[in-house]
């Protein structure tokens, strides 16, 4: 009997936005893995900490936070082998994933290495997308809107084309790209339609019109644009 | 002291995919509203039923299930007035929302009518998007992929253009559009890249390659297409 690999979405930041299933699996888990920066606390672990057993064996996957160096395949390869030993010995392994495991998540690198050898279950979580639209108090998508989610690093030409093709747009991983993105959105005459959210659902959450957003945005920040009519503001 | 209007995402179907916060608020709520079909059970209520108080006052919002008749503004206007009375009397009102309240959700029609008069909080939930990629055991988006979410009713020309512009595509609200969508995806030579999921996260969940999906799909079904390389299958 081998163990099961669980990829567990722990949500956008507020520990209360973990699902009941995530909470149950984490509180039962004897082996817990999570991504961690090279210095400082793991964000995923900080969300789940209150649910973890005191005697849990922890497997931090230390990956440099600089986007350019993803994917740090050596780290995932090493962690996968450690997990494989536990799984082969019949122990379940819970991997904590910020937001949702399969929405721009690094869990796929473990899944790719282990899912053919061991049972694997993905527990979906609340994404930062949902947390940001809640924070902005504005629907993400209505009726038959097309929604496009775009990573901030995309170049201006591609970014403009993708924004053109949707009623609702979310730009993720904004970080240092903010001044460039704001200039582009301004040139498209969409600034008044754009909101900025930083660290959604956490105590230090910041919500601003894009025009007022700081030039130095953290990695965990997002721009939401709504181009269509505001149907929810028009009550017949 | 007025009450607070809560728009609560109850997730994609499995009651264990409710958040801890949703569960807490629902179990405390004395007034609970939810969308309901003209015959049969409310899906949102069925997800949350185990958390609800036995003495909760219920406000079903009965809306015909035929897509063509949305938005049924009269129903929301009437429900909003009933809620306004409770809120004005100092009672909180919990509105149960399938998935996430602001992701193609009808909660916006209540939000539009009540959020300027009463405190309002949106509690994000796990979307069907996350549940479907978990069910397919395939990442929704990787690295710097662009994701586009498209409602099934979109016409072929617009649909094709939107699929062209993204690495990852989710087509929601498939229902009776399935044969047309399958023909289009086939013409784009993407059928082998497409998965079909019906009633994600529920006991009766169905997961199939698109080629094998039934012609008569339910409203709660989704097609996921991944056009890029499968980076998660290529472990260096």
- Tens of pLDDT along A134-173? 999 999 998 889 999 999 999 999 999 999 989 999 999 9
Residue A192 DSSP one-character state: G
Distance CA B51, CA B65 (A): 25
pLDDT band of A230, cuts 50, 70, 90: low
Angle formed by the axes of helices A107-114 and A73-88, to 10°? 50
Position B234 scores a pLDDT of 42
Position A233 scores a pLDDT of 45
Angle formed by the axes of helices A20-28 and B20-28, to 10°? 120
* Least confident window among A71-75, A81-85, A201-205, B201-205: A71-75
Q: Can you list the domains of chain B with their CATH numbers?
A: 5-123 (3.40.1010.10), 128-233 (3.30.950.10)
CB atoms within 10 A of CB A206: 17
- Is residue B223 within 8 A of residue B181, CB to CB? The reply is yes
Q: What is the DSSP string of B133-193?
A: HHHHTS-SB-TT--EEEEETTS-HHHHHHHHHT-SEEEEE--GGGHHHHHHHHHHTT-GGG
Mean pLDDT of A180-194: 96
Q: Distance, in angstroms, between A13 CA and closest chain B CA?
A: 12
Mean pLDDT of B219-230: 87
Contact A130 B102 (CB under 8 A): yes
Position B60 scores a pLDDT of 96
- 3-class secondary-structure state, position A223: strand
Position A143 scores a pLDDT of 85
Q: For B180-206, how does the pLDDT look when each residue is reduced to its tens digit (9 = 90+)? A: 999 999 999 999 999 999 999 999 999
Contact A19 B16 (CB under 8 A): yes
At A170, phi and psi to the nearest 5?
-120, 125
* CB nearest to B19's CB, from A18, A101, A146: A18
**Chain B residue with minimum CA distance to A149:** B147
Position B70 scores a pLDDT of 53
A127 in contact with chain B, both atoms CB, cutoff 8 A: yes
A82: part of which helix (H) or strand (E)?
A: helix A73-88
Higher pLDDT, B68 or A50: A50
Mean pLDDT of B169-190: 96
Residue B52 CA: distances (Å) to CA of A64, A86, A168: 44, 39, 34
Position B232 scores a pLDDT of 46
Query: Contacts of residue B125 in chain A, CB cutoff 8 Å?
Result: 126, 130
Is the pLDDT at A232 greater than 50? The verdict is: no
Position B64 scores a pLDDT of 72
Contact A103 B140 (CB under 8 A): yes
* CB nearest to B103's CB, from A70, A112, A140: A140
Token pair for B187: 């013409």
Contact B133 A103 (CB under 8 A): yes
- Could you identify the residue written with the tokens 């069907």? B128
Mean pLDDT of A192-196: 94
Mean pLDDT of B55-65: 90
Query: Contacts of residue B232 in chain A, CB cutoff 8 Å?
Result: 108-109, 111-112
Q: What is the mean pLDDT of chain B?
A: 92
Interface of A with B in 166-225 (CB under 8 A): 166, 201
B60 in contact with chain A, both atoms CB, cutoff 8 A: no
pLDDT band of B69, cuts 50, 70, 90: low
pLDDT band of A236, cuts 50, 70, 90: very low
* Least confident window among A114-118, A133-137, B139-143, B176-180: B139-143
Distance CA A73, CA A70 (A): 8
Is the pLDDT at A67 greater than 70? The verdict is: no
Distance CA B9, CA B47 (A): 10
């Amino acid at each position: 009997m081998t163990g099961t690999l669980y990829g567990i979405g722990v949500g956008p930041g507020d520990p209360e936005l973990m699902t009941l299933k995530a909470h149950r699996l984490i509180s039962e888990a004897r082996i817990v893995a999570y991504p961690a920066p090279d210095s400082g606390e793991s964000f995923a672990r900080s969300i789940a900490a209150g649910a973890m057993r005191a005697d849990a064996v922890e497997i931090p996957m230390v990956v440099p936070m600089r986007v350019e160096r993803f994917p740090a395949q050596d780290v995932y390869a090493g962690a996968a082998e450690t997990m494989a030993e536990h799984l082969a010995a019949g122990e379940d392994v819970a991997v904590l994933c910020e937001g949702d495991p399969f929405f721009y998540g690094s869990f796929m690198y473990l899944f790719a290495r282990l899912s053919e050898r061991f049972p694997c279950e993905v527990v979906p979580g609340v994404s930062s997308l949902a947390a940001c639209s809640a924070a902005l108090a504005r629907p993400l998508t209505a009726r038959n809107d097309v929604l496009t989610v775009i990573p901030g690093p995309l170049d201006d030409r591609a970014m403009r084309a993708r924004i053109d093709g949707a009623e609702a747009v979310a730009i993720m991983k904004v970080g240092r790209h903010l001044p460039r993105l704001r200039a582009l959105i301004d040139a498209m005459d969409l600034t008044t339609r754009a909101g900025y959210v930083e660290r959604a659902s956490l105590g230090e959450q910041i919500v601003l019109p894009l025009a007022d957003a700081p030039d130095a945005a953290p990695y965990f920040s997002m721009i939401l644009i709504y181009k269509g009519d505001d149907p929810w503001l028009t009550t017949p």
